[in-house]
Amino acid sequence: MQSSFTLFRVRGIAIGANWTWLPVALFFVFELASEFHTTDPGLKPSTYVTMGVITVVLFFGSLILHELGHAFRAIREGMEIDGITLWLFGGVAKFKGMFPSAGAEFRIAIAGPIVTAVISGALYALTFVLHAAGIHHGPVVAVTAYLASINLILLGFNMIPALPLDGGRVYRSYLWHRKKNFTDATVQAARTSRALSAALIGLGVILFFRGYSSALWPAFIGLFLFQAAKSELAFAQFRQALGTFHLRDVMTPEPESFDIDTSVAIFLDKVMHARGHSAYPVTQFGRFVGLVQTRRAADVPVVDRLSRRLRDLMIPRTELLTASPDDDVTETVTKMSDPAARIIVLDGETLVGIVTPSDISRALQHGRLLPPDAPPGPDGPPAAPTRRSLPFGLWLIIGAFVLVGAGYAIHPPVVVLAPGTSYNVSKDITISGVKTTPLHGGFFLTSVSVSQPNVFGFLAAEFSHRQVAPLSAVLPSGVDQNKYFRDQLAEFSQSQQFAAAAAAKAAGMNVGITGTGAQITQITSGAPAAKTLKKDDVVLAIDGKPVHVADDLGSVIRARPSGTTFDLLVERDKKQVHENVTSGSGVAGLKTPAIGVLLTTRDLSVQLPFKIRFKKEDIGGPSAGTAYALAIYDMIAPTDLANGRQIAATGTIDLEGNVGPIGGIAEKAQAVKSAGATWFVVPSSEASGVKTSGLHLVGVTTLQQAIEKLRG
């Protein structure tokens, strides 16, 4: 459980809270205010609310003291603490590494309950003193009495012998001491935890159907304990199986990475339909420099995605976990307390692999971590898996009904990717104001279906080996779903306009493109422009010649030899200033003279030589741009480009007719074949991802190249 924010620190230990803690805290404030109104009538309403606030603050303070008891004892045992987090079910101290011995685990586990027992005893003593002084009612005695009882209840609950509660850890430490094997002890403790979990779930369900709505809490706690015990068991077996293996044995070698100057638009379009990772390495000149999160990239407004670069969003290398391929897995994996953590594996300065929790889990499942002739782990040979039926058969049956209902109602935070719609886009297009020719054949767009399944749909997708990705890879947490899909629809509409402009240019027609200046979206480090220009500057003129669109600036610079000094009129912070910039050669790897800036046209407007209307489609994203461009070209040019063929296409398109990668190529190839298309035009960089046979594959980088290859 990770902290969403940090509250304060105690002796260097960060005390934080997960967002789940906030609604619980607010709920208890008003719940306690209502309870105090019943037990101590006659006070002002504001007094009850104040009593509720004070009680909640002191109660969570006692939880923090409980966890600090664990933390301070762990430090004395030589362990490291990764902080304390308040969350939905209370508090949790996060340890780095494993308990060094059974005795150490016992001492650490019992330290928290001892603190809680002292707090409860002190509060009962204070309540007794107040009663002895004749104070039987009022805010102070009501608060102390409640805190004394709730801490006693907390103590009793924590001593239930179920992992990962304190009682479960005490019980495991005893088994560990007796069996001399950590994994065997965890297996037995986990069985006990599962039995108690089933009892709690069954009890909660029965009481709920008898009219006690609050009785669902035991059921939720039972589910939590069941999953937590399962995790404890999995990690114990994992620790034993690791043995003396190194990171190179478990890492994903040569992970997909992106250049630091890749635009956010291309990044999102490529990864949305790819493997669905939540983060990707970023490199510069072959060196690993950071990690970019898909969620953070998706938070960038659509209008800025073409101009923003990954360098603006990435987490720098200095803030990430790095290791050598020869580092020990057992020692390194303890650093991955965050479920979303990544360990970047570097050989010197070269990125050679990446390790995630799923990598290690996958390696365990495939038996790659412990070959038949490998030595046993630190706790002896792995415990043989055994099956025992859970006690309380009635609870198990009731729990099964609950789980089935939950399976239909709960939608995990994942999406299933599958071949989507593929249809003839020429039926969507109506052109007037220019002579058109009949289209013999068709041009098909391709798409990927993205759906969020319930639990059973998720399991079905896993068993059928369909591609499953985290929901955050498509819709990051905190992003309004309706806004996100509106943005996707807007990108689709924009790609249609870009396709019309690119097709008109390819057909030799004049296309009016106007704007109010060339806006700088990125400056290459060390480039000539870095000395005088700034990001978001808008160039209005070069050597006195007005600059309306981005190419007005670029064409002048490219037409002069390297070393030419230009006078730029720049709008900066609503003021106009003159800046001198000298062009150079080899800037950002370009062969032509350049000053090292990425540009976009401010207030871009496209004027076509004809009128065009598109049928509204419920499809998002820019991947249909190339398909529309080919269809429009076939309609306005005298050449019969389709020539009776069914041609599918995917890829972004810009105003100059450049075709860009989009991702999801494997699923799209299946959709293309199902739709009956026999030709498939794809970005050259993605052609290797098409494995479906029976398609004439055409890899291209520009619209003009696609036209020439289709003409044959």
Angle between helices 21-39 and 45-76 (to 10 degrees): 130
Cis-peptide, bond into residue 371, ω within 30° of zero: no
CA distance 1 to 212: 29
What phi and psi values does residue 454 have, to the nearest 5 degrees?
Answer: -80, -175
User: Token pair for residue 458?
Assistant: 């998720």
Query: Is the four-CA dihedral 53, 59, 60, 61 of positive or negative sign?
Result: positive
Q: How many residues does the chain have?
A: 712
571 catalytically annotated = no
DSSP 73: H
Element (H, E) at 399: helix 393-409
Do the strands 350-355 and 343-347 form a parallel or antiparallel pair, or are they unpaired? Answer: antiparallel
Could you list the beta-strand ranges (E) of 327-426.
Answer: 343-347, 350-355, 414-424
**Which pair of structure tokens corresponds to residue 136?**
């039987």
- CB neighbours of residue 451 within 10 Å: 13
Q: Report the alpha-carbon angle 397-230-60, nearest 5.
A: 100
How is residue 214 annotated by DSSP?
G
CA distances from 187 to 123, 151, 201 (A): 38, 30, 21
Helices 166-179 and 182-209: angle between axes, nearest 10 degrees: 150
CA-only gyration radius of the chain, Å: 32
**Upper half-sphere CA count for residue 658 (Cβ side, 13 Å):** 7
Q: What is the C-alpha separation between 65 and 569, in angstroms, rounded? A: 63
Nearest Cα to Cα of residue 96 among 78, 115, 114, 81: 81
The four Cα atoms 678, 683, 297, 301 give a dihedral, to 10 degrees, of -80
* Alpha helix ranges (H) inside 572-659: 625-636
Q: What are the backbone angles phi and psi of residue 94, rounded to the nearest 5°?
A: -100, 120
**Residue 313: what are its φ and ψ, rounded to 5°?**
-115, -20
| Residue 544 to residue 551: CA distance in whole angstroms | 16
Rounded to whole angstroms, how far apart are CA atoms 506 and 637?
Answer: 9
275 residue type, one letter:
R
Cβ–Cβ < 8 Å for 300, 313 = yes
Task: Characterize the bridge pairing of strands 442-451 and 414-424.
Answer: antiparallel
Catalytic residue among 31, 35, 67, 656: 67
Contact, 648 vs 420, CB < 8 A?
Answer: no
Angle formed at CA 464 by CA 462 and CA 470, multiple of 5 degrees: 30
The H-assigned helical ranges of 525-637 are 550-559, 625-636
Q: Letter for the amino acid at 404?
A: V
C-alpha triplet 21, 24, 30: angle, nearest 5°: 140
The amino acid present at 441, given as its one-letter code, is: G
Nearest to 500 by CA among 681, 655, 702: 655
C-alpha dist (Å) from residue 613 to 271, 493, 656 = 31, 11, 21
**Tokens describing residue 34:** 């209502």
Helix (H) or strand (E) holding 361: helix 357-365
* Residues with a known catalytic role: 67
